[in-house]
């Protein structure tokens, strides 16, 4: 599925124009604005959260861009056609080695625990009617039922194994593989 938001955000900004206005700080993953009001500036831009989505953004030529998308342009010479996934799940870690192009499905694999989760583990929730833990995982934008479990630890293990099986390229699945000793 194409990212409709970004496909609407067609931009004429080029890598050369971006590099003329900014340097890249590889240690912090920041763009450094070279000039402001035609005077040397050399200060970080887009290093603070300033959007409701939790991303940093930078204004260039009267247009607002997410910092991670500008950093992608800076390194690869084009805007990504779809999503940029922050591999470690930290939306403010815009170091290029933490960014990867992704479709919506892959991008969703790295989401953090939702605020309304009461079990404390992704994909695990208490099913009041059955008196058991219910485990599910999102696969191709649909919920896939994994099973019911009496014990919370069993439910967590089932959720981890489902993550490994259905989202094998996810950094979280890699972490679970290492944790469980699965190659």
Residues of the chain with confidence (pLDDT) below 70 = 1-10, 110
- Clarify whether residues 150 and 174 are in a common domain: yes
- Clarify whether residues 90 and 137 are in a common domain: no
- Look up the domain containing 11 and give its range: 4-107
Is the sign of the CA dihedral 77, 98, 53, 80 positive or negative? positive
Q: At what angle do helices 152-166 and 171-180 cross, to 10 degrees?
A: 120
> What are the two backbone dihedrals, phi and then psi, of residue 76, each rounded to the nearest 5 degrees?
-110, -5
- Clarify whether residues 61 and 16 are in a common domain: yes
Instruction: Please state whether 106 falls in left (phi above 0), alpha (psi between -120 and 50) or beta.
Output: alpha
pLDDT at position 53: 84
- Clarify whether residues 155 and 100 are in a common domain: no
- Clarify whether residues 76 and 65 are in a common domain: yes
- Which residue, of 107, 132, 148, is where some domain finishes? 107
- Clarify whether residues 136 and 65 are in a common domain: no
């Amino acid at each position: 599925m194409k990212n409709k938001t970004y496909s609407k955000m067609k931009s004429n900004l080029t890598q050369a124009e971006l590099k003329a206005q900014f340097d890249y700080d590889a240690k912090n993953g920041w763009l450094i604005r070279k000039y402001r009001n035609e005077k040397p500036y050399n200060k970080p831009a887009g290093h603070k959260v300033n959007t409701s989505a939790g991303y940093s953004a930078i204004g260039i030529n009267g247009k607002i861009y997410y910092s991670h998308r500008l950093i992608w342009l800076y390194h690869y010479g084009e805007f990504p056609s779809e999503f940029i996934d922050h591999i470690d799940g930290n939306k403010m870690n815009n170091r290029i080695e933490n960014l990867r192009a992704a479709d919506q499905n892959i991008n969703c694999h790295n989401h953090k625990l939702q605020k309304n989760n009461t079990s404390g583990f992704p994909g695990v929730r208490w099913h009041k009617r059955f008196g058991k833990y219910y485990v599910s995982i999102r696969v191709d934008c649909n919920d896939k039922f994994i099973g019911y479990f009496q014990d919370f630890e069993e439910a967590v293990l089932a959720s981890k194994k489902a993550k490994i099986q259905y989202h094998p390229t996810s950094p979280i699945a890699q972490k679970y593989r290492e944790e469980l000793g699965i190659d």
